[in-house]
Amino acid sequence: MKFFNAEQIYAADKFTIKKQQISSNELMERAAVQIFNWLHLRMQGAQVKIHLFCGIGNNGGDGMALARHLKEHGYNITVNVVNYSEKRSKDFLINLDRLKDRKIWPNFLERDCEFEEIGRDDIIVDAIFGIGLNRTPDSWVTKLIQHLNDSGAFILSVDLPSGVFMDKAIENTQAVIKANHVLSFQAPKLIFFLPETGIYSNQWEVLDIGLDPEHLAGLETEFELIGKNELLPVYIPREKFSHKGNYGHALIIGGSYGKIGAVSLASKAAMAIGSGLVTAYVPKCGYVPIQTALPEVMVITDKDENHIQDITFDIAPTVIGLGVGMGVAQETSEAFSSFLDSVKSPLVIDADGLNLLSKKKDLLKKLTPKTILTPHPKELKRLIGEWKDDFDKLKKAKAFSKKYDVILVLKGAHTITVYENHGYVNNTGNPGMATAGSGDVLTGVITGLLAQGYEPLDAAVFGVYLHGRAGDIALEQTGYQALTASKIIEAIGLAFIDLFKMPEEPVPQEESNEAQS
């Protein structure tokens, strides 16, 4: 699913209005009816107090139109206009008149006015600002926003939480609505997925308001949300007459005294994701543990007992995953540098491999094209330097990817894979996966996919998705706290099977008809 920017949404509005021969007000009405149906289905006429706060633009217009529908269905509402500007939009004014025609008189909120009391059990509809926000709200609007956040009431935001910009960082965190639920029109917004802005949208849902699908499909976007629809075409099916040689040979290089488990996890994950053969390259102390724990995996040992000192081998792996548990000893660093002089295979580099690259940035130039780097935030900072905010981070990551021709997997709650000018946002995974060894599993997963012939970018995006999905499936048995890296590996098979499950049944007809009435 694509993430559109504000200009693309405005243009899609215009295009749709022209093509479907409707007025902009009719489009607003569609949006408002969708929100009304959502609320009505859940509230079934309950007399909980609903406080609507509407701006003077089209986000406010959505709120005014919603107020009319709520009133007509007997809901207990108060309507407030947050009068932050004289420049009211045409469709806001039309909907204000329609409210007045029905004898509903909104309270007009201005600087220095008193705000109405809101109970903890009430509901707030936030339609103050939408995608048109272009500067930080005034201090009195900020105070109102704080008043709403402090009320403890359930906040439903229209399109996005008021105070979040579509394309830049928040300047004053006090001036942002903390939404319990966001009903976003047509497509999700990138800001729901970035840590600094995502915290303002506890939950979100997309409402289809019928913008022209062909027009939207033709738009180029910098970011997209990854789900089954994006990945099914990427999946490489298993051929009946194939053999293990068709599925590649993954070599996992890493480990040091006390950290052999990292290689064990990565190798096991590479096997579970379907690599034909897997070999682990470890210091001598890793030989017995890996041979004992993983009968399917072959082992090559370094000349040293405790640290890797010389990366040479006489096998021809399809792909190499390097760095997990490896340490940053001087000898390891030198061995890594001379290994990069001759390596031709595709590479996945994680953990201490990344730390070594950060220490000697010249090594980045020696990487095979489209090497996949999988940094967590601290490792990323060492690689690309400090960033000001999430948007700056993405900009720097793109520049870094272009400069060195690498694929960056920015690990986080919503991992984003960046290649050149594009970002692929993941939507699987859960906080239980913030656990030791989870990253080692991801390295194994991506390496194992590359071994099977997936293109590097596909392997990275698909690997991140499957790793997260396996974590979600494992969570059902373990809960957040007891989720371990080994449990993620065990669920990889189910993550593949889940890829081909049909989506859940739609809501039965009677129920959806009720919502329209």
Ligand X SMILES: NC(=O)C1=CN([C@@H]2O[C@H](COP(=O)(O)OP(=O)(O)OC[C@H]3O[C@@H](n4cnc5c(N)ncnc54)[C@H](OP(=O)(O)O)[C@@H]3O)[C@@H](O)[C@H]2O)[C@@H](O)CC1
Binding site for ligand X (CB under 6 A): 9, 13, 27-28, 31, 55, 57-62, 84-85, 87, 89, 129-137, 158-159, 185-186, 209, 211
CB of 74 to K ion, least distance (A): 25
The answer to the question of residue 158 lying near K ion (CB under 5 A) is yes
462 binds, among K ion, ligand X, none (CB under 5 to 8 A by kind): none
Is 78 in a helix, a strand, or coil? strand
CB of 358 to ligand X, least distance (A): 40
157 binds, among K ion, ligand X, none (CB under 5 to 8 A by kind): K ion
Q: Report residue 333 as tokens.
A: 């660093």
E strand or H helix at 213: helix 213-217
- Of 58 and 435, nearer to K ion (C-beta) is 58
- Which 98-137 positions form the footprint of K ion (CB under 5 A)? 126
- Separation between Cα atoms, residue 456 and residue 450, nearest integer Å: 6
Hey, how many other C-beta atoms are within 10 angstroms of the C-beta on 359?
Answer: 11
Let me know: does 466 contact 495? Beta carbons within 8 Å: yes
CB of 77 to ligand X, least distance (A): 18
85 binds, among ligand X, K ion, none (CB under 5 to 8 A by kind): ligand X
- Of 129 and 419, nearer to ligand X (C-beta) is 129
Annotated binding site for AMP: 411-415, 439
Q: Report residue 236 as tokens.
A: 């490489």
475 burial level (CB within 10 Å; 0-12, 13-18, 19+) = buried
186 binds, among ligand X, K ion, none (CB under 5 to 8 A by kind): ligand X
- Of 95 and 157, nearer to K ion (C-beta) is 157
- Of 131 and 349, nearer to ligand X (C-beta) is 131
Question: Would you give the distance in Å from CA 447 to the centre of its chain?
Answer: 22
Annotated binding site for (6S)-NADPHX: 58-62, 130-136, 159, 262, 323, 376, 440
516 burial level (CB within 10 Å; 0-12, 13-18, 19+) = exposed
Residue nearest to K ion (CB): 162
Q: Specify the pairing of strand 107-109 against strand 123-127.
A: unpaired
Enumerate residues 6+ apart whose C-beta is below 8 A from 149: 155, 177, 178
CB of 90 to ligand X, least distance (A): 10
Annotated binding site for K(+): 59, 126, 162
CB of 318 to ligand X, least distance (A): 46
CB of 131 to K ion, least distance (A): 9
Query: What is the 8-class DSSP label of residue 322?
Result: E
The answer to the question of residue 162 lying near K ion (CB under 5 A) is yes
Candidate segments 83-91, 156-164, 166-174, 205-213, binder of K ion by CB under 5 A = 156-164
131 binds, among K ion, ligand X, none (CB under 5 to 8 A by kind): ligand X
E strand or H helix at 373: strand 371-373
- Separation between Cα atoms, residue 273 and residue 275, nearest integer Å: 6
Strand partners, 31: none
Let me know: does 208 contact 407? Beta carbons within 8 Å: no
135 binds, among ligand X, K ion, none (CB under 5 to 8 A by kind): ligand X
289 binds, among K ion, ligand X, none (CB under 5 to 8 A by kind): none
Residue with tokens 């706060």: 53
- Of 162 and 426, nearer to K ion (C-beta) is 162
Q: Long-range CB contacts (< 8 A, 24+ apart) of 10-13?
A: 10/131, 12/186, 12/211, 12/212, 12/215, 12/216, 12/219, 13/211
The answer to the question of residue 89 lying near K ion (CB under 5 A) is no
Q: Specify the pairing of strand 249-253 against strand 319-322.
A: parallel
132 binds, among ligand X, K ion, none (CB under 5 to 8 A by kind): ligand X
- Of 137 and 463, nearer to K ion (C-beta) is 137
Annotated binding site: 58-62, 126, 130-136, 159, 162, 262, 323, 376, 411-415, 439-440
- Of 5 and 430, nearer to ligand X (C-beta) is 5
The answer to the question of residue 80 lying near K ion (CB under 5 A) is no
Sheet holding 406-410, edge to edge: 223-226, 422-426, 416-419, 406-410, 371-373, 347-349, 319-322, 249-253, 277-282, 298-301
The answer to the question of residue 157 lying near K ion (CB under 5 A) is yes
CB of 307 to K ion, least distance (A): 55
Hey, how many other C-beta atoms are within 10 angstroms of the C-beta on 7?
Answer: 11
The answer to the question of residue 408 lying near K ion (CB under 5 A) is no
Candidate segments 32-40, 158-166, 427-435, 445-453, binder of K ion by CB under 5 A = 158-166
Rule CB under 5 A: which residues touch K ion?
126, 157-158, 162
